[in-house]
């Protein structure tokens, strides 16, 4: 797989944008999660209104070999509805926090979607044939009088317009007191974990009425609470291993074979703090918003407010690589604290070969880092650069006094335009970027 | 806006005084902002626990630094300096909580708290200034003074005044335990008791000339001595469980709001 940075041989270009063009963004349309399935054929998005939209990769056109296929809407359904918790007199948002695909085992596709409290397993199946020529009923469905039937015929399958149906197969409810922030399908394809602020539960996909609690960091006295769980993920190969990150910038790796309750970690990853850069915001910006294993399972990546770090699972005392996403914000932390932007949870993702990583920033910028060449690039998801197959121009934020042409100054950044969710196709150089209510896809230029 | 807060070195010169004052101002502002954020939390559908915990940790961090750095030096400078504009507020808070003897004793809280020798003088000082504190300031402002005023809080040593939830009772008792131990060290001559506020005749006699509205501050600040083990919600809780005999209306409203925060944070 090619590298990421703009060299002479590799460039990103615009592919598609989905979503309304209006300046007024409906709250319900804000995309809250983006995920490719394991083959990359399907791309799922969840939004604040509780809807899931799945796009399918069209076959490439034979007469236009330079163009990769486009993603078109495959299925849309309402996954979660708003609920009311009568006990606490609080609303439960229908916002989809995470979608995770199950590995495909038959012609149907399965995914898990979750809001703050409930996880649902959805089956997305296709129907493109229907049976005609029943004996016991007419074509319009009326039952025929059995005594009138004089001959038998075999029903025939006739093609029909493709119908994609999404049906909820399982509902995993009432297991989380706090807000679910992560779900992760295990490599055994039978279990998955769900994590909220203080607990992690292990489920079996077939069993909805109970789950195992495997991590519980709730203190006996809630006044002593100083740390919460921010993300969790299962190891891609070892079904007994998972990790979870915390608001204090630490990651714990746990082995489910050691004990039923994995409160004691097997490995503890933390980078010692740099005392020279300590401030009142140090803890907040160290809080990890996302953790992702590499496809190989050898590394994991964490995203905190200002940087992305790659950790070798065999080394706990510091990351092996650190990439600054938007270091120019360090001097603005007080303002970002005031407007709450400092609490934004950015996600990060690997490319299929683990040679590059991607994460979002503000002003609809997103950043990609090539781990081999150490090059990085900043691109923008905007309607202006949305001409078909237009090459994306690298963007730059000027930090010094003198602003060059085409650079944007830190004070001009739009902090309402944040890219929190990005996804990378598992096999190809195709990426999906969620910019508020719009979904952009970009692909590499095939020369 | 402000640059990141840096640890202030021990100030040892005239040049550093302005810097120190400015830093304290920034820190105070950050504390106020954080408390406001926590207050607003309870208005949302359900507060984001991660955000609340991070803000509360920040508040605790600021408090600890304010307590240990001690703004004593800032006070002397503020007193001696022009003290106009924003630093006026600092002057109000700092001067309240300090008698002239304490200015030289540095940031060691416990030694400063030795009431045995200078008790009466301090009481007089407090009386003159405490009404300024309790007036119509928001709890955010009050809390800014906590680090310095918890010596006053120790005048009222009984605890267990929390009323609201089941967990509230535990908190009150627990903070009472902490307060008891700490004040035991400080007030060797005082009789420590658990009981209803204002029930100790010895204490009442002692502080008879203290402005009654000051009791609010006393009870709200009880439990501050348990700082080493203090969780982020302890001081919030002690604020929430105010039971002063004379209620200051705006203070009460704010405290009720904080009380509500506690329920949301702890209850969920």
Distance from the Cα of B216 to chain A's closest Cα (Å) equals: 22
Is residue A328 less than 8 Å (CB to CB) from chain B?
Answer: no
Residue B149 has pLDDT above 90, yes or no: no
Distance from the Cα of B166 to chain A's closest Cα (Å) equals: 12
pLDDT of residue A88: 82
- Taking an 8 Å cut-off on Cβ atoms, the answer to whether A287 and B3 are in contact is no
Reported ipTM: 0.91
- Taking an 8 Å cut-off on Cβ atoms, the answer to whether B49 and A179 are in contact is yes
Mean pLDDT (whole number) for A298-323: 97
Mean pLDDT (whole number) for B232-250: 45
pLDDT of residue B265: 75
Distance from the Cα of B50 to chain A's closest Cα (Å) equals: 6
Q: State what percent of residues in chain B have pLDDT above 90.
A: 10
Contacts of B53 in chain A (CB under 8 A): 225-228, 247
Which of the given ranges, A311-315, B166-170, B177-181, B197-201, has the highest pLDDT on average?
A311-315
What region does A79 belong to: left with phi over 0, alpha with psi -120 to 50, or beta? alpha
Mean pLDDT (whole number) for B199-218: 50
Contacts of A88 in chain B (CB under 8 A): 46, 267-268
Collapse the DSSP code of B52 into the 3-class scheme (helix H, G, I; strand E, B; otherwise coil) and give the result: helix
Mean pLDDT (whole number) for A402-421: 90
Q: What would the pLDDT profile of B75-107 be if each residue is shown by its tens digit?
A: 444 444 443 433 333 333 333 333 334 334 333
- Taking an 8 Å cut-off on Cβ atoms, the answer to whether A225 and B58 are in contact is no
- Taking an 8 Å cut-off on Cβ atoms, the answer to whether A334 and B30 are in contact is yes
Is residue A354 less than 8 Å (CB to CB) from chain B?
Answer: no
The residue ranking higher by pLDDT, B18 or A408, is A408
Distance from the Cα of B180 to chain A's closest Cα (Å) equals: 19
Rounded CA gap, B87 and B71, in Å? 12
Q: Between the CA of residue B110 and those of A323, A401, B64, B154, what are the distances in Å?
A: 46, 49, 15, 11
Residue B179 has pLDDT above 50, yes or no: no
Mutation for testing the A interface, residue in B46, B62, B239, B267 having most A CBs under 10 Å: B46
Distance from the Cα of B149 to chain A's closest Cα (Å) equals: 22
Contacts of A334 in chain B (CB under 8 A): 1-4, 30
Which of the given ranges, A424-433, B7-16, B122-131, has the highest pLDDT on average?
A424-433
Closest CA to A91 of A115, A69, A70: A115
Closest CA to B23 of B36, B5, B41, B37: B5
A 413-432 residues with CB below 8 A of B? none
Is residue A106 less than 8 Å (CB to CB) from chain B?
Answer: no
pLDDT band at B110 (very low <50, low <70, confident <90, very high): very low
pLDDT band at A439 (very low <50, low <70, confident <90, very high): very high
Q: Nearest by CB to B46, from A90, A281, A343: name it.
A: A90
Is residue A217 less than 8 Å (CB to CB) from chain B?
Answer: no
Distance from the Cα of A333 to chain B's closest Cα (Å) equals: 7
Distance from the Cα of A224 to chain B's closest Cα (Å) equals: 5
Residue A35 has pLDDT above 80, yes or no: yes
Contacts of A91 in chain B (CB under 8 A): 45-46
Looking at residue A48, what DSSP letter applies? T
Q: What would the pLDDT profile of A17-31 be if each residue is shown by its tens digit?
A: 998 888 788 999 999
Q: Nearest by CB to B51, from A227, A283, A343: name it.
A: A343
Distance from the Cα of B118 to chain A's closest Cα (Å) equals: 35
pLDDT band at B249 (very low <50, low <70, confident <90, very high): low
Q: What would the pLDDT profile of A210-267 be if each residue is shown by its tens digit?
A: 999 999 999 999 999 999 999 999 999 999 999 999 999 999 999 999 988 988 899 9
Side-chain-side CA neighbours of B123 within 13 Å: the count stands at 20
Is residue A90 less than 8 Å (CB to CB) from chain B?
Answer: yes
Rounded CA gap, A64 and A68, in Å? 9
Residue B174 has pLDDT above 90, yes or no: no
Mean pLDDT (whole number) for B192-197: 39
What residues contact residue A311 under an 8 Å CB cut-off, 6+ apart? A251, A269, A299, A300, A301, A302, A319, A320
- Taking an 8 Å cut-off on Cβ atoms, the answer to whether B231 and A179 are in contact is no
Which of the given ranges, A276-285, B145-154, B164-173, has the highest pLDDT on average?
A276-285
What chain B residue is nearest to A83 in terms of C-alpha separation? B45
Mean pLDDT (whole number) for A164-168: 96
Residue A104 has pLDDT above 90, yes or no: yes
Q: What would the pLDDT profile of A40-84 be if each residue is shown by its tens digit?
A: 999 999 999 999 999 999 877 666 655 667 899 999 999 999 998
- Taking an 8 Å cut-off on Cβ atoms, the answer to whether A178 and B57 are in contact is no
- Taking an 8 Å cut-off on Cβ atoms, the answer to whether B49 and A281 are in contact is no
Rounded CA gap, B170 and B94, in Å? 32
pLDDT band at A371 (very low <50, low <70, confident <90, very high): very high
What residues contact residue B180 under an 8 Å CB cut-off, 6+ apart? B157, B159, B192, B194
Q: What would the pLDDT profile of A381-390 be if each residue is shown by its tens digit?
A: 998 878 888 8
Asked whether the beta carbons of B103 and B75 are under 8 A apart, the reply is yes
Other Cβ atoms within 10 Å of A419 Cβ, number: 25
**What residues of B are in the A interface, CB distance below 8 Å?**
1-7, 27, 30, 33, 37, 45-46, 48-51, 53-54, 56-58, 61-62, 167, 170-171, 174, 231-234, 237, 265-268
Is residue A197 less than 8 Å (CB to CB) from chain B?
Answer: yes
């Amino acid at each position: 797989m090619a590298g990421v940075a703009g060299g002479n041989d590799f460039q990103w270009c615009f592919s598609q944008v989905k979503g309304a063009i209006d300046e007024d963004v409906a709250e319900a349309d804000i995309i809250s999660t983006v995920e490719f399935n394991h083959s990359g054929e399907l791309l799922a998005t969840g939004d604040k209104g509780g809807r899931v939209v799945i796009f399918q990769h069209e076959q490439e056109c034979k007469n236009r070999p330079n163009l990769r296929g486009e993603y078109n809407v495959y299925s849309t359904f309402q996954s979660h509805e708003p609920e009311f918790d009568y006990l606490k007199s609080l609303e439960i948002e229908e916002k989809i926090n995470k979608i995770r695909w199950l590995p495909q085992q038959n012609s149907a596709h399965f995914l898990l979607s979750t809001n703050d409290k409930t996880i649902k397993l959805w089956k997305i199946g296709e129907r493109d044939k229907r049976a005609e020529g029943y004996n016991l009923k007419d074509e319009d469905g009326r039952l025929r009088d059995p005594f009138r039937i004089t001959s038998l015929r075999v029903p025939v399958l006739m093609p029909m317009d493709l119908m994609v149906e999404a049906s909820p197969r399982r509902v995993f409810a009432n297991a989380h007191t706090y807000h679910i922030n992560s779900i992760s399908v295990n490599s055994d394809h039978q279990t998955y974990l769900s994590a909220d602020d203080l607990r992690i539960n292990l489920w079996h996909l077939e069993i909805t009425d109970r789950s195992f609690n495997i991590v519980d960091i709730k203190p006996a006295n809630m006044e002593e609470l100083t740390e919460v769980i921010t993300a969790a993920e299962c190891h891609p190969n070892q079904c007994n291993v998972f990790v979870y990150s915390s608001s204090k910038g630490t990651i714990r790796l746990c082995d489910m074979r050691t004990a039923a309750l994995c409160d004691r970690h097997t490995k503890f990853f933390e980078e010692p703090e740099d005392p020279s850069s300590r401030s009142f915001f140090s803890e907040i910006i160290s809080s990890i918003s996302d953790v992702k294993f590499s496809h190989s399972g050898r590394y994991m990546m964490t995203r905190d407010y200002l940087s992305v770090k790659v950790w070798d699972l065999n080394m706990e005392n510091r990351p092996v690589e650190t990439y600054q996403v938007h270091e120019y914000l360090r001097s603005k932390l007080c303002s970002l604290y005031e407007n709450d932007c400092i609490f934004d949870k950015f996600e990060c993702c690997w490319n299929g070969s683990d040679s590059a990583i991607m994460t979002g920033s503000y002003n609809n910028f997103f950043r990609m880092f090539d781990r081999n060449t150490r090059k990085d690039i900043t691109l923008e998801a905007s309607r202006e650069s949305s001409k078909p197959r237009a090459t994306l121009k690298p963007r730059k934020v000027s930090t010094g006094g003198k602003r060059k042409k085409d650079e944007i100054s830190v004070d001009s950044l739009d902090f309402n335009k944040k890219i929190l969710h990005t996804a990378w196709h598992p096999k190809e150089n195709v990426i999906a970027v969620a910019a508020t209510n719009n979904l952009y896809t970009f692909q590499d230029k095939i020369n | 806006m402000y640059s990141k807060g840096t640890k202030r070195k021990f100030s040892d010169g005239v040049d550093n005084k302005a810097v120190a004052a400015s830093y304290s101002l920034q820190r105070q502002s950050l504390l106020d902002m954080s408390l406001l954020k926590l207050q607003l939390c309870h208005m949302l559908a359900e507060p984001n626990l991660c955000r609340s915990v991070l803000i509360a940790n920040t508040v605790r961090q600021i408090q600890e630094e304010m307590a240990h750095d001690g703004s004593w030096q800032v006070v002397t400078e503020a007193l001696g300096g022009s003290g106009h504009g924003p630093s006026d507020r600092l002057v109000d808070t700092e001067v309240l909580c300090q008698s002239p003897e304490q200015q030289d004793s540095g940031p060691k809280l416990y030694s400063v708290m030795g009431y045995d020798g200078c008790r009466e003088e301090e009481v007089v000082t407090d009386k003159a200034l405490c009404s300024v504190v309790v007036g119509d300031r928001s709890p955010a402002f009050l809390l800014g003074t906590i680090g310095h005023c918890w010596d006053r809080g120790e005048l009222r040593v009984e605890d267990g005044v929390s009323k609201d939830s089941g967990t509230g009772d535990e908190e009150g008792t627990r903070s009472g335990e902490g307060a008891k131990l700490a004040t035991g060290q400080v007030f060797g001559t005082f009789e420590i008791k658990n009981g209803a506020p204002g029930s100790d005749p010895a204490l009442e006699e002692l502080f008879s000339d203290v402005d009654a509205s000051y009791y609010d501050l006393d009870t709200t600040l009880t439990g501050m001595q348990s700082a080493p083990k203090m969780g982020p919600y302890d001081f919030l809780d002690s604020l929430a469980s105010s039971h002063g005999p004379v209620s200051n209306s705006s203070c009460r409203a704010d405290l009720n709001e904080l009380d509500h925060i506690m329920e949301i944070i702890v209850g969920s």
